[in-house]
A and B are shown apart, each in its own frame.
Chain A
Amino acid sequence: MPLVPIHFKGKSNPLTVITPVKRGWGRFLTNAILFVFHHLPLGVVKQLAFIHFARWILIKGNKLPRLSEDQPVEDNWPYDFYVFTTNFNGSWDQYIDAFGRIHAVSKGLNMLWYTSEGFPGPWPMRLFKRYIHYFTAPQHLYYNAYPGATVRDIDAATKLNAEIEAFLEDTKDEMDDAEFGRRYRAFVNQVSPWLGKTGLEEKHEALAHRAVPMELSQ
């Protein structure tokens, strides 16, 4: 599968999928599903730690802003828009793979896209990927405040931060060198799993690889 590089700087990728939903019952059901999801803990997604921010929103096709008399009335579009936006780490393929392969996530996705017209379900994967790709809207401007950091980096930094603050407090006053050495080593051992360096690098090959398989992008 060849790769189509995308041109946004950094470790996170934007994806916007806009699927059509039938009005009437479809709209009602979608809102009901969204309401349910509002109250669900999304622990699995947190654990996977690859989504910065995501949103789902149902936009009524007949309530698109019409702000001038000159603007034609949208009377030839019988669907609502179901907009999904996400900012994820890793490659497109890997991201969609994770969606489909993790049972809890794929069940959730099946629910969320249940009302979208023609949604094939998260399995078989090839149809699912094709569906997502079919309804993906192209990006024109993307901004990320910390392009050199992934969700895992941020999670690690958060854990590390608590330890750093505790240790700064702990070593506020000068102390016996041996005692300091002991505390320092214990601290370093404690935080050592999160000491990988991060940030934007001059030329990081790993960042070039964020691609949609060509079989879908053609």
Chain B
Amino acid sequence: MTDHSFLTVISPIEHRRNDPDGREATIRKTLLAHEQDDSPFADCPMVHMARIQILDQAVPPMGDTSGAALKTKYLLFAIDIDGRVDDFLDSLYRRDADFVHNVWGQCIGYPDFRGAVFFRRYIDACSFSNPLGYAGFDLSVGDTLLMLTRKNVLADFVSAHQGKSDKELQAAWRKSRADLATPNLPKPESF
């Protein structure tokens, strides 16, 4: 069983005086384009769940009227993955480098080079460790998809073979064994 990583990253978003939301707009546009489907994470087989949020402003406690505020906008990236963070980052970069450049590339301090190594270093510089993590189940993404598929395959088999004779049952089972043992797995995000 692979270990589970909870990655939490907060990166500052560049805020330019002459173009107040130029970079942030690029991020928003990119996120919107990938919101429903075509998710860059779908090709990273280790990602369970991921979210990206733009933190426009920190919310002070109710009743704090001192005007406490952050001076920069931040991008929150929280992700639950199997295995090591570096493997995930490399995978994401390989699948969709443009996405990385259009999101984190717009943040303050991201070097002006292309290459997964800079992405890894940047995320490392912005990530926070030691969360209290909770995982509802102890499976990798691949195992989860396998088990879910098996569940549906078995349900279909049982339903389709109600009231069959023992002989027919055995014959059908022999035929369907392989479908159950090694079913065609759905791509992540399509189950």
Contacts of A194 on B, CB cut-off 8 Å? 151
The answer to whether B191 touches A200, judged by C-beta atoms less than 8 angstroms apart, is yes
The answer to whether B147 touches A157, judged by C-beta atoms less than 8 angstroms apart, is yes
- A186 at interface (Cβ–Cβ under 8 A)? no
The answer to whether B166 touches A181, judged by C-beta atoms less than 8 angstroms apart, is yes
For chain A, what secondary structure do more than half of its interface residues adopt (helix, strand, loop), or is it mixed? mixed
The answer to whether A57 touches B132, judged by C-beta atoms less than 8 angstroms apart, is yes
The answer to whether B108 touches A68, judged by C-beta atoms less than 8 angstroms apart, is yes
Q: Roughly how many angstroms separate A52 CA and B80 CA in the complex, as a whole number?
A: 10
Q: Roughly how many angstroms separate A52 CA and B144 CA in the complex, as a whole number?
A: 12
Contacts of B12 on A, CB cut-off 8 Å? 64-67, 71
- A207 at interface (Cβ–Cβ under 8 A)? no
B131 to chain A, nearest CB (A): 4
Closest to A175 in B: B170
Q: How large is the interface on B (under 10, 10 to 19, 20 to 34, 35 or more residues)?
A: 35 or more
- B113 at interface (Cβ–Cβ under 8 A)? no
A7 to chain B, nearest CB (A): 7
- A208 at interface (Cβ–Cβ under 8 A)? no
Q: Which of B8, B49, B134, B139 has the most CB of A within 10 A?
A: B49
For chain B, what secondary structure do more than half of its interface residues adopt (helix, strand, loop), or is it mixed? mixed
Q: Roughly how many angstroms separate A67 CA and B190 CA in the complex, as a whole number?
A: 38
- B59 at interface (Cβ–Cβ under 8 A)? yes
- Encode B30-49 as 1/0 by CB contact (under 8 A) with A: 01101111010110000111
A residues contacting B by CB (< 8 A) are: 7-9, 12, 14, 16, 18, 20, 34, 37-38, 42, 45-46, 49-57, 59, 64-68, 70-74, 76-79, 81, 83, 85, 87, 117-118, 134-135, 137-149, 151, 153-158, 160-161, 164, 168, 171, 174-175, 177-178, 180-181, 184, 188, 191-192, 194-200
B residues contacting A by CB (< 8 A) are: 6, 8, 10-12, 28, 31-32, 34-37, 39, 41-42, 47-55, 58-64, 67-72, 74, 76, 78, 80, 107-109, 125-126, 128, 130-137, 139, 141, 144-148, 150-152, 154-156, 158-159, 165-167, 169-170, 173-174, 177, 180-181, 188-191
- 20 additional contacts, CB 8 Å, given A67-B11, A76-B71, A141-B53? A51-B136, A52-B48, A52-B80, A56-B131, A56-B132, A57-B128, A77-B58, A79-B68, A117-B62, A118-B62, A140-B28, A140-B52, A142-B49, A145-B189, A146-B188, A146-B189, A146-B191, A157-B150, A177-B166, A181-B165
